[in-house]
């Protein structure tokens, strides 16, 4: 059932921890071993983590095929493969082997595009257990947005957040995770309040379903403003970290939960215990999620025909432009790469 190839195909490689070291190389097209599948990759998307890995902040292998998030079609299967078949359109999962439940120590250390080669290549081998079928109604570029931003939002809301219909969720900003969280929270029957520094982004978020919003530039004490507006929120998708945690605690209702996604700021946060303890509050760190959550998310995406927000799409050769767009953060929605362009 497998095929052999002597041909090579395109891959992008990072050879030093610097953006200008990114280059297109030719890599051999490999034959899947037992339990493996080979994907013909079609699209990829970028996350903030990809900048961190490019800069080598946490090490990582070199040369490295970057990016963790992509989608491809199964074009060859190794011996004994049963979970997927030829022609299935799948995403590799972020952390190979994370199939269910909470993460175990070390599992995200081998995530794609870091210490394991990523998806920015025409063909890749993946263990059959490490892929997830994607909803049919999504374009390739949309499907490529799911693995990190989508699953992280799902974990934040449902695995740790235990969101119930009628509850109010505070979502910070309009980045990749936040827009997914907005979409999922509305599908789950929750009320959503969003904060942003831009009235224009607030309008777009409302068009996507946000019920209420606070502009945190004009309301530096936005935690209080959110509490007043909503009566206190049951859940916060906390992506800001150092700059936002104390305000998030202020916004919480009694018994409120915080899903702590953000660790980007690099600075320690203030945790106002004088509010946190009497509110019987809790905080849980969120680290993407495993295959089971990815599949649960896809089921909801399919049922509700949800679509990720795509900000900009580049061609395979425009990877530098894609990274620059990620840095510039001008657009609302994911930065993506369409391999067909």
Residue 145: CB minimum distance to its own copies, A: 17
Contact between 161 and its own copies by CB under 8 A: the answer reads: no
Q: Which of 4, 278, 330, 340 binds its own copies (CB under 8 A)?
A: 278
- Please answer whether residues 270 and 294 qualify as being in contact, where contact means their C-beta atoms are separated by less than 8 angstroms: no
Q: Which of 104, 221, 305, 327 binds its own copies (CB under 8 A)?
A: 104
Residue 280: CB minimum distance to its own copies, A: 5
21 vs 108, which CB is nearer to its own copies?
108
17 vs 96, which CB is nearer to its own copies?
96
Positions in 169-228 near its own copies (CB under 8 A):
184, 187-189, 191
Using the structure block, give the residue that is written with the tokens 């224009």. Answer: 200
Contact between 59 and its own copies by CB under 8 A: the answer reads: no
Residue 103's alpha-carbon distances to 68, 100, 135, 166, 290, in angstroms, are 17, 8, 25, 29, 7
| Interface characters, 74-103, with its own copies (x: CB under 8 A) | ---------x-------------xxxxxxx
42 vs 191, which CB is nearer to its own copies?
191
Please give the backbone phi and psi of residue 127, each rounded to the nearest 5 degrees, phi first.
-65, 140
Residue 259: CB minimum distance to its own copies, A: 10
Per-position DSSP letters for 107-129, written without gaps between them: GGGG-BTTTB--S-BSEEEEEGG
Contact between 229 and its own copies by CB under 8 A: the answer reads: no
Contacts of 341 (CB under 8 A, 6+ apart): 313, 314, 315, 316, 318
Contact between 262 and its own copies by CB under 8 A: the answer reads: yes
Tell me the window of 140-148, 300-308, 324-332, 333-341 that interacts with its own copies (CB under 8 A).
300-308
Q: Which of 125, 302, 307, 321 binds its own copies (CB under 8 A)?
A: 302
Contacts of 45 (CB under 8 A, 6+ apart): 67, 69, 70, 141, 144, 145, 149, 334, 335, 336, 337
Contact between 143 and its own copies by CB under 8 A: the answer reads: no
Contact between 156 and its own copies by CB under 8 A: the answer reads: no
Residue 94: CB minimum distance to its own copies, A: 14
Please give the backbone phi and psi of residue 55, each rounded to the nearest 5 degrees, phi first.
-80, -10
State both tokens at 200. 């224009």
Tell me the window of 42-50, 172-180, 268-276, 316-324 that interacts with its own copies (CB under 8 A).
268-276
Using the structure block, give the residue that is written with the tokens 């299935």. Answer: 88
State both tokens at 330. 């001008």
26 vs 305, which CB is nearer to its own copies?
305
245 closest CA partner among 229, 228, 262, 232: 262
Contact between 33 and its own copies by CB under 8 A: the answer reads: yes
Please give the backbone phi and psi of residue 227, each rounded to the nearest 5 degrees, phi first.
-60, -40
Tell me the window of 23-31, 69-77, 271-279, 318-326 that interacts with its own copies (CB under 8 A).
271-279
Q: How far apart are CA 207 and CA 14, in angstroms?
A: 39
């Amino acid at each position: 059932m497998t095929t052999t190839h002597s041909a090579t195909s395109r891959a992008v490689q990072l050879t030093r921890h610097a953006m200008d070291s990114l280059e297109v190389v030719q890599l051999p097209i490999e034959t899947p071993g037992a339990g493996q599948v080979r994907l013909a990759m079609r699209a990829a998307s970028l996350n903030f983590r990809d900048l961190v890995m490019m800069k080598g902040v946490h090490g990582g292998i070199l040369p490295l095929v970057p990016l963790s998030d992509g989608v491809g079609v199964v074009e060859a299967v190794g011996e004994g493969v049963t979970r997927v078949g030829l022609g299935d359109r799948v995403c590799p999962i972020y952390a190979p082997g994370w199939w269910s439940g909470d993460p175990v120590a070390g599992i995200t250390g081998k995530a794609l595009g870091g210490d394991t080669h990523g998806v920015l290549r025409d063909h890749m081998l993946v263990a059959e257990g490490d892929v997830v079928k994607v909803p049919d109604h999504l374009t390739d570029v949309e499907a490529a947005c799911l693995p990190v931003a989508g699953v992280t939002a799902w974990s934040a809301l449902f695995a740790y957040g235990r969101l119930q219909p009628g509850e109010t969720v505070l979502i910070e900003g309009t980045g990749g995770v936040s827009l997914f969280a907005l979409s999922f929270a509305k599908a789950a029957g929750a009320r959503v309040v969003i904060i942003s520094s831009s009235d224009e982004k607030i309008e777009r978020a409302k068009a996507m379903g946000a019920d209420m919003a606070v502009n945190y530039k004009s309301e530096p004490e936005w935690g209080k403003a959110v509490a007043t507006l909503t009566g206190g929120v049951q859940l916060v998708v906390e992506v800001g970290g150092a700059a936002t945690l104390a305000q998030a605690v202020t916004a919480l209702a009694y018994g409120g939960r915080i899903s702590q996604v953000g660790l980007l700021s690099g600075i320690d946060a203030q945790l106002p215990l004088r509010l946190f303890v009497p509110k019987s509050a809790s905080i849980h760190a969120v680290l993407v999620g495993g295959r089971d959550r990815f599949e649960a998310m896809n089921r909801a995406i399919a049922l509700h025909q949800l679509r990720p927000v795509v900000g900009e799409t580049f061609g395979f050769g425009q990877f530098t432009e894609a990274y620059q767009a990620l840095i510039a953060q001008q657009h609302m929605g994911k930065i993506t790469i369409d391999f067909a362009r």
